[in-house]
Structure 1
């Protein structure tokens, strides 16, 4: 994935949300620096209504707190996109969180989205995240 200079990268899973910024002028070789750890208020528990199937409930694979966190992250990014806080953003999230986030993307966020990676990279080194972006 080509990541423009000054593009943000949102890295999240069901519990963690980290925002990084690309400082490299070479779009093919990102250099990320930590920008912030946004404080979210995951209150959108309606996010998980779609996942209230019998199979998910029996196996415990549906965690409404994780889905609410993903919805809160999408809403936070929507607010920043609408405010013009960034021109470009990439999102890296575990598949379930990314799927939930997509349901909440505002048109303004979609227009600034340069790519998505459906992989859990929270807790990984910056170098590993940079390599995943370069390979995508």
Structure 2
């Protein structure tokens, strides 16, 4: 996959996230790490779909869903403010599904690629290789 110059790449899992920007060109991307903002993860908006009980002991799932909602909210704001024009989202499979529930229309349009994979903590060359593999 060619990654246009200036594209923001968000890598997200259930607890962490990282931001990168392609400082190179489409054919020879050079990922530059961006500061990752601290988020308030108080939005348990998926509470109706995921809940903890004796039969479903996944209380941590609410925290992961809140993290995904907070990241999506931040991305929505950056796209709306025109600070992100093109976006690539790489996320753990379940997190990616949760993110999609929270994207606004602008973020959906700005997203040029999604990859369902957990790449938190990987080096830029590994990220580029994963994007090129599919």
Tell me which residue corresponds to 1:9. Answer: 9
Tell me which residue corresponds to 1:30. Answer: 29
**Alignment CA distance shift 1:30-1:55 (3 Å):** farther
RMSD between aligned residues: 2.0
Contact 1:11 1:18 (8 Å CA) reproduced: yes
Contact 1:28 1:134 (8 Å CA) reproduced: no
Q: What is the CA–CA distance in structure 1 between the aligned matches of 2:72 and 2:22, rounded to whole Å?
A: 20
Query: How far off its partner does 1:51 sit?
Result: 2.4
Contact 1:8 1:22 (8 Å CA) reproduced: yes
2:89 equivalent among 88, 91, 96: 91
Query: How far off its partner does 1:53 sit?
Result: 7.7
Q: What is the CA–CA distance in structure 2 between the aligned matches of 1:10 and 1:95, rounded to whole Å?
A: 14
Q: What is the CA–CA distance in structure 1 between the aligned matches of 2:115 and 2:78, rounded to whole Å?
A: 20
Query: How many matched pairs?
Result: 134
Q: What is the CA–CA distance in structure 1 between the aligned matches of 2:18 and 2:129, rounded to whole Å?
A: 17
**Alignment CA distance shift 1:89-1:44 (3 Å):** same
TM-score by length of 1: 0.89
The 3-state SS of whatever aligns with 1:50 is coil
Q: What is the CA–CA distance in structure 2 between the aligned matches of 1:116 and 1:56, rounded to whole Å?
A: 33
Unaligned runs of 5+ in 2: none
Query: How far off its partner does 1:62 sit?
Result: 5.8
Contact 1:48 1:68 (8 Å CA) reproduced: no
Contact 1:6 1:22 (8 Å CA) reproduced: yes
Matches within 5 A, 1:1-136: 1-25=1-25, 27-52=26-51, 57-58=56-57, 60=58, 63-136=61-134
**Alignment CA distance shift 1:104-1:72 (3 Å):** same
Contact 1:22 1:32 (8 Å CA) reproduced: yes
